Amino acid sequence: MAQSPANQQPDAPATEATPKGGGDLLRKLMIAFIVILILIGIAGAGYYLFFSGSDNLTMTDEDDNIMKAPPVFMAAMPYQISLSDGRRFLAVNVRLEVLDLATSGFINSRLPIVNDIVISTLQRYTSKELRKASGVEQLKRDIKRRLNSGKLFNEDFISLKDTTTPIHAVYFDKFILQ
């Protein structure tokens, strides 16, 4: 008996003949191979970085000295100066970074000489020069150079400390040009 098309049961879905394990095994091997290559690359890079012996990563004696001694800053010294052009005033707090506490004590015992050197250096500049950042940096260098000169530090101090620059840097806490 022939069945009507409405009563016909649909045929089972057509299945393709694919091997079950062949494609999956190849895909798994490829993924494993890629993962192994990535791990080898990471291990090689780590080995190179760890055992390269770069000179930038080794500490020198200078680095060791820096880590031992923290910087020593002296108390701010305030100055109000009429500049060389006579039209402006400068109010500035000067702070010195020195070699060590003994140097700070030595400088404190000679504050009149320090004040004379700083004031005479400040008075040499004009307001036009100090309006520029380069002028302010030059002023710092001049103060440092003049303070490290022989007028403040005698030969006994220099030979005792084994340095010709007991003052490392000059900083301005306040700098007002009026």
CB count, 10 Å around CB of 133? 8
What whole-number distance in Å separates Cα of residue 90 and Cα of residue 129? 12
Per-residue pLDDT for 169 more than 90?
yes
Domain boundaries, the chain: 24-58, 70-177
Residue 51: the pLDDT is: 77
The model's pLDDT over 16-26, given as tens digits with 9 standing for 90+, comes to: 555 555 678 88
Q: 């005033």: which residue's tokens?
A: 89
pLDDT number for residue 165: 81
75 CB-near residues (< 8 Å, 6+ apart) = 95
Phi first, then psi, for residue 92 (nearest 5°) are -145, 145
CATH superfamily of 70-177: Band 7 domain (3.30.479.30)
pLDDT at position 143: 94
Question: What pTM does this model have?
Answer: 0.60
